[in-house]
Amino acid sequence: MNILITGGAGFLGSHLCDALIEKGHDILCVDNFFTGNKSNISHLLTNPNFTLIRHDVTFPLYVEVDQIYNLACPASPIHYQFDPVQTTKTSVHGAINMLGLAKRLKARILQASTSEVYGDPEIHPQTEEYWGRVNPIGIRSCYDEGKRCAETLFFDYWRQHKLEIKVMRIFNTYGPRMHPNDGRVVSNFIVQALNNKPITIYGDGSQTRSFCYVDDLITGMIKLMESHKSITGPINMGNPSEFTMIELAELVIKLTSSRSKLKFKPLPEDDPKQRQPNISLAKSKLNWSPKVSLEEGLNKTIIYFKNLLDK
């Protein structure tokens, strides 16, 4: 098939390009390189089944494809708060443009949504039926509400135009090709530990996250796209194993043999206290669950960052 991946030069997008090329598909990778990096897909540039277009999804795109994976949007707080208006436009205008393209082509389209639609949740773990607790005017709202609006648009296109849609809610994902300065906790901790610098923990370190290795996430994403058209989602994808920030920091220090010490700072505004997916739907509908343990995934990620820092 001819498959369009928006945000294809980003962390997740580049791994998706690899996986779909390996399956024999022709890939059209679209990215404006705000957070994507050409180095993530440089190994694919000479592949005859791979095409790269520099384009911003807030503008219409006229191409011919069979499937669309819509991954375009900065996903780390540092990047999405840099230009919050553009972040909202990327989620909302980008969704409108990609849904319009899918409607014209009668193509199946997948939206990479996020666990951030749950905000700072009152229920734990989070199920797809939970509507969330999001601050609509906070500093994270550009991302949270942008993604929530994108989900609204997807389901309205499904109801109004009978479009084949897939919506997945991605929980914390990590692995090689994360941006070293994206402010996400795994990349932060690893880079700080490799440099023997203090590891920055916000709050008292008791807040929790659940970390899914990128290979597991991409497998689930493709399974959802290839599932029966009646499975629209939204569907949670992530690793339900839950860790406190202190537990993560101590494990990273151990795996890197670092001399780093912990340094505590105030908790940022609207930072969720708990985040853990209920993945019962993914298990029952897609026969998907993560396989890679946190220690195994961290070791692979540490090797990537070590090579990056050694260059």
Tell me the catalytic residues.
Answer: 143
CA distance 282 to 294: 20
The label of the residue with tokens 């692995």 reads: 175
CA distance 205 to 262: 10
Please say whether the beta carbons of 213 and 296 come within 8 A.
yes
CA distance 282 to 220: 8
CA distance 127 to 110: 20
Q: Which of 67, 4, 15, 6 is nearest to 33 (CA)?
A: 6
Name the H helices within the chain.
Answer: 11-22, 38-41, 77-80, 84-105, 141-161, 185-194, 214-225, 245-256, 280-286, 294-310
Q: Which of 284, 290, 275 is nearest to 130 (CA)?
A: 275
Q: Residue 69: enclosing H or E segment and its boundaries? A: strand 67-70
Residue type, 260: S
DSSP category for residue 115:
G
> How distant is the alpha carbon of residue 239 from its chain centre?
13
